[in-house]
Amino acid sequence: MTLRGTVVTHRGTRFALVEADAELIDSQAESVEALRFLARRFPGLPILLMATDASGRPRYRGPTELVRKAATLKISGLPWNEFDVN
């Protein structure tokens, strides 16, 4: 499986930001499972899942503190990368 993500430092916190389907963001159980899985890909970093709505606004799932910080993040200028997770 190929995912798109980036590692950013924003407001003094370094974290991984990974694109996800809106259905994953909406499901507490599935998003927790995805975050655990991604922790192996980004060891030592907190992780946020992100989906965009129809108007392009991001929605996040992850640690509450990071969700608050990410609300002020401009995602369009981030250096996104694709990576394989198998």
Q: Please give the full DSSP string across 20-78, using - where no structure is assigned.
A: --HHHHH-HHHHHHHHHHHHTTSTTS-EEEEEE-TTS-EEEES-HHHHHHHTT--GGGS
Tens digit of each residue's pLDDT (9 = 90 or more) over 28-83: 999 999 999 999 989 999 999 999 988 889 999 999 999 999 989 988 889 999 98
| Any domain includes 9 | yes
pLDDT of residue 30: 93
Cα–Cα distance measured from residue 38 to residue 15, given in angstroms and rounded to the nearest whole number: 12
12, containing H or E segment: none
pLDDT of residue 1: 67
- Chain Cα centroid distance, residue 70: 9
| Any domain includes 61 | yes
- Residue 28 structural domain: 2-78
Cα–Cα distance measured from residue 77 to residue 80, given in angstroms and rounded to the nearest whole number: 9
Domain count, the chain: 1
| Any domain includes 7 | yes
CATH code, 34 = 3.40.1350
